[in-house]
């Protein structure tokens, strides 16, 4: 094995001595020549793709010509017809033909849709669980020990672990719901010792403008702490600014040049005096 391996390197790197082996299952001359050429320039090719993963990067799969390689399903080698009848002999043909939308496919579910679902338990395990629940409903939990033992005997270990995790999840969800309910029903400190009679008998109409501060410009209390002295000083500042603006001479604009027809450039006023 190679001595200078990166952390988390897999055994495939020791076989190919590179992350870019360009393994192509299709055994024709043109495909293999292209694979050899791509393998030789992989170190300088910015578009090269990995086929050997490592700890820090994932990798692509094997190639079949210009497509991805998909091995023949085993042991079922039956084609299901779509439009035309297809004839396929897995013992006589070396490579399985590709399925297309018009001729063949590899599953009998016509017009089916692939979806992501939860992990299903084995059917015998489901039947034993249903028997135990039926026994609980009819006879009670104390008389269903044999049905409970059937679940432990028939269901595999991963199914039992799945059921245990499901019970743990719902127990955690119930505890979270109970804590949320208790926190929502708790009386806060600002309502301690108060009753409904302490609430003022006001409606939404008391929150409109005419009921808040109808004698001012602002309906809220943003300027309630302004004194009359500050108001008088602000009035004097505004009058002084207007006087300075009145004393300024207007900027003379140059006349239009009769020869060139250029317009005069407008001189902008300064923002502050």
Mean pLDDT for 12-17 is 84
Tokens standing for residue 237: 């500042």
Tokens standing for residue 127: 């039947």
- As beta bridge partners, residue 63 has 24, 68
Cα separation, 85 vs 36, in Å, equals 40
Please state, as a whole number, how many other Cβ atoms lie within 10 Å of the Cβ of residue 132. 19
pLDDT of residue 3: 46
Judged against a pLDDT cut of 50, whether residue 109 lies above it is answered with yes
What is the separation, in whole angstroms, between the first and last Cα of the chain? 82
Judged against a pLDDT cut of 90, whether residue 137 lies above it is answered with yes
**Are 60 and 50 contacting, i.e. CB atoms less than 8 angstroms apart?**
yes
Judged against a pLDDT cut of 70, whether residue 32 lies above it is answered with yes
pLDDT of residue 124: 92
Share of the chain above pLDDT 90, in %: 28
Cα separation, 264 vs 254, in Å, equals 6
pLDDT of residue 167: 93
Mean pLDDT for 197-207 is 84
Cα separation, 148 vs 64, in Å, equals 51
DSSP 219: S
Share of the chain above pLDDT 70, in %: 65
Please state, as a whole number, how many other Cβ atoms lie within 10 Å of the Cβ of residue 209. 10
Peptide bond into 75 cis (omega under 30): yes
Residue 1's pLDDT band (cuts 50, 70, 90):
very low
Judged against a pLDDT cut of 50, whether residue 230 lies above it is answered with yes
Cα separation, 41 vs 211, in Å, equals 81
Best mean pLDDT range from 150-154, 242-246, 247-251, 261-265? 150-154
Cα separation, 248 vs 271, in Å, equals 14
Judged against a pLDDT cut of 70, whether residue 95 lies above it is answered with no
Strands (E), 25-133: 63-64, 67-68, 80-81, 104-105
Residue 67's pLDDT band (cuts 50, 70, 90):
confident
SS3 (DSSP) at 201: coil
Cα separation, 61 vs 23, in Å, equals 9
pTM of the predicted model over 0.75: no
């Amino acid at each position: 094995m190679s001595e200078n391996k990166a952390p988390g390197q897999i055994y495939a790197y020791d076989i190919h001595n590179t992350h870019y082996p360009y393994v192509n299952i299709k055994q024709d001359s043109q495909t293999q020549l292209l694979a050899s050429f791509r393998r030789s320039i992989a170190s300088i090719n910015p578009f090269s793709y990995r086929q050997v993963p490592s700890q820090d990067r994932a990798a692509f799969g094997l190639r079949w010509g210009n497509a991805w390689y998909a091995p023949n399903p085993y042991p079922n080698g039956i084609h299901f017809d779509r439009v035309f009848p297809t004839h396929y002999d897995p013992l006589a043909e070396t490579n399985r033909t590709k399925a297309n939308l018009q001729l063949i496919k590899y599953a009998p579910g016509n017009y089916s849709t692939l979806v992501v679902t939860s992990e299903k338990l084995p059917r015998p395990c489901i039947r034993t669980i249903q028997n135990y629940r039926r026994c609980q409903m009819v006879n009670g939990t104390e008389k269903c020990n044999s049905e409970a033992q059937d679940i432990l005997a028939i269901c595999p270990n991963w199914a039992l672990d799945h059921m245990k995790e499901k019970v743990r999840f719902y127990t955690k969800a119930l505890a979270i719901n109970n804590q949320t309910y208790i926190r929502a029903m708790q009386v806060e400190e600002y309502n301690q010792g108060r009753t409904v009679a302490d609430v003022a008998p006001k409606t939404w109409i008391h929150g409109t403008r005419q009921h808040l501060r109808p004698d001012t410009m602002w309906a809220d209390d943003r300027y309630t702490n302004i004194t009359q002295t500050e108001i008088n000083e602000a009035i004097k500042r505004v009058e002084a600014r207007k006087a300075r603006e009145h004393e300024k001479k207007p900027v003379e604009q140059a006349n239009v040049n009769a020869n060139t027809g250029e317009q005069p450039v407008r001189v902008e006023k300064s923002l502050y005096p």
